[in-house]
Chain A
């Protein structure tokens, strides 16, 4: 199934640089992400993938450069960063569920405290989201009582509860046992099919073939490949990409 990609830009990243001390992690990266796109970011470890995705919502502070979310500048102090972040969901490698709250409470927290939605409404919505990720029977479980795959699905539901315009995934399946990867990817594929705009750092080649509309390959802080998933995976233009993909397959 091919879904519709709009011309409307959701993210514009212009000349993004990140240094850790002397180390130049991101080298003047520019790209635009349009509504409905599912952009996979691949590349060898240490290439800057995670740093890049974390700079988008300023969990990591870029050294120089601009990120625009719609018309709002994410970088810079003009707009309140927490107001922008509520519309940019993020899913982490280690799930980062709040261990002192149940699955349901994890999902309800931000809608009730940040958006000030009533508890009843937030609960209805949270239950619907749990059902959607196949975990309605785990509403009252604490994170430590859930498997990794279940935790990650709750984490996705937690992000969706804020009705984000875009979802960022930072290696969402790398911390999972192989048999749990599929259940998380299934949720992500269905989100992609519904037209959610997503940026996904991942090496799950099957997921990328199935769901990604575009692939960026990040090596040593530079985008060396930017094209459709078919194009990048089957006919990479860069020798470095071929080597990298060779190691994956």
Chain B
């Protein structure tokens, strides 16, 4: 019935001859992807936390601004944002390198989501925690630093890990820029060799990073359920 030749599939998708001498380019692409993801994760997590804390202060002017920002991020496809920053802003004489553009756009978009996650995490903490901290003489910054933020982290860690996974996946939008991250490196080799094996290899590399992270997330979610 199904007529396929295992050798042909091997020849097309898992052709190690094609990969000969190309691993260097693929791994340097992987390294760029890891760098973009790591910098984006660090910045969007820190900024997300700050956004959440500002939101909780209930200052109506700031809140309006941040809600507008959140809605903007929800409604804008990330590729569109990237094209605007990288190809659009230079018309205003604002120029960013491909690496900077990628980080700026990913951080901008994911900060919004991470901020919402932290906000609900902080709001989930019993308000007597805040009162107990205040009654001991802790000021607001100390209360956040020692009491609320450490607890919020525990609550949102599963959501956070999910967002981090999303950031790693979103680094692949950089293929539209002049930067050779993992997917772009694979595309270059595949085009040159006229064989899709490098694309398959790059997929495996994404999986290599993402599967441990998703297992980690699943474990956290399971633990969180048990604790409840």
Residues on the A chain within 8 Å of B146, using CB: 98, 109, 113
Say if the beta carbon of B137 comes within 8 Å of chain A: yes
Q: Contact string, B133-160, partner A, CB cutoff 8 A, digits 1/0?
A: 1111111001000110011001000000
Complex Cα gap A162–B142 (Å): 16
User: Which residue of chain B has the shortest Cβ distance to A144 in the bound complex?
Assistant: B227
Residues of chain A from 75 to 104 with CB closer than 8 A to chain B in the complex:
82-83, 85-90, 92, 94, 96-100
Q: Contact: B131 with A92, CB < 8 Å?
A: yes
Q: Interface residue count for A (Cβ, 8 Å)?
A: 26
Q: Contact: A162 with B137, CB < 8 Å?
A: yes
Q: Contact: B151 with A114, CB < 8 Å?
A: no
Residues of chain B from 141 to 184 with CB closer than 8 A to chain A in the complex:
142, 146-147, 150-151, 154
From B136, B147, B150, A86 is in contact (CB under 8 Å) with B136
Complex Cα gap A159–B138 (Å): 12
Q: A82-B137, A85-B134, A86-B137 given as contacts; is B129 within 8 A of A113 (CB)? A: no
Q: Contact string, A185-210, partner B, CB cutoff 8 A, digits 1/0?
A: 00000000000000000000000000
Complex Cα gap A23–B89 (Å): 56
Q: A98-B147, A109-B146, A114-B142 given as contacts; is B128 within 8 A of A85 (CB)? A: no
Q: A98-B147, A100-B151, A109-B146 given as contacts; is B132 within 8 A of A82 (CB)? A: no
Complex Cα gap A54–B128 (Å): 12
Say if the beta carbon of A49 comes within 8 Å of chain B: no
Residues on the A chain within 8 Å of B154, using CB: 100
Q: Contact: B132 with A98, CB < 8 Å?
A: yes
Q: Contact: A59 with B137, CB < 8 Å?
A: no
Say if the beta carbon of A128 comes within 8 Å of chain B: no
Q: Interface residue count for B (Cβ, 8 Å)?
A: 18
Q: Contact: B135 with A57, CB < 8 Å?
A: yes
Complex Cα gap A193–B139 (Å): 32
User: Which residue of chain B has the shortest Cβ distance to A60 in the bound complex?
Assistant: B131
Say if the beta carbon of A158 comes within 8 Å of chain B: yes
Residues on the B chain within 8 Å of A110, using CB: 136-138
Residues on the A chain within 8 Å of B129, using CB: 96, 98
Q: Contact: A158 with B150, CB < 8 Å?
A: no
Complex Cα gap A65–B142 (Å): 29
Q: Contact: A113 with B135, CB < 8 Å?
A: no
Q: Contact: A96 with B137, CB < 8 Å?
A: no
Q: A96-B128, A113-B146, A114-B142 given as contacts; is B151 within 8 A of A90 (CB)? A: no
Q: Contact: B131 with A114, CB < 8 Å?
A: no
Report the minimal beta-carbon distance from A194 to chain B, rounded to whole angstroms: 21
Complex Cα gap A218–B89 (Å): 67
User: Which residue of chain B has the shortest Cβ distance to A84 in the bound complex?
Assistant: B137
Report the minimal beta-carbon distance from B154 to chain A, rounded to whole angstroms: 7
Complex Cα gap A98–B136 (Å): 12
From A57, A59, A82, A94, B139 is in contact (CB under 8 Å) with A82
Query: Can you list 21 contacts pairing A with B, beta carbon distance less than 8 Å?
Result: A54-B131, A59-B135, A82-B137, A82-B138, A85-B135, A86-B136, A90-B131, A92-B132, A94-B126, A96-B132, A97-B132, A98-B129, A98-B132, A98-B146, A109-B138, A109-B146, A110-B136, A110-B137, A110-B138, A114-B136, A155-B132
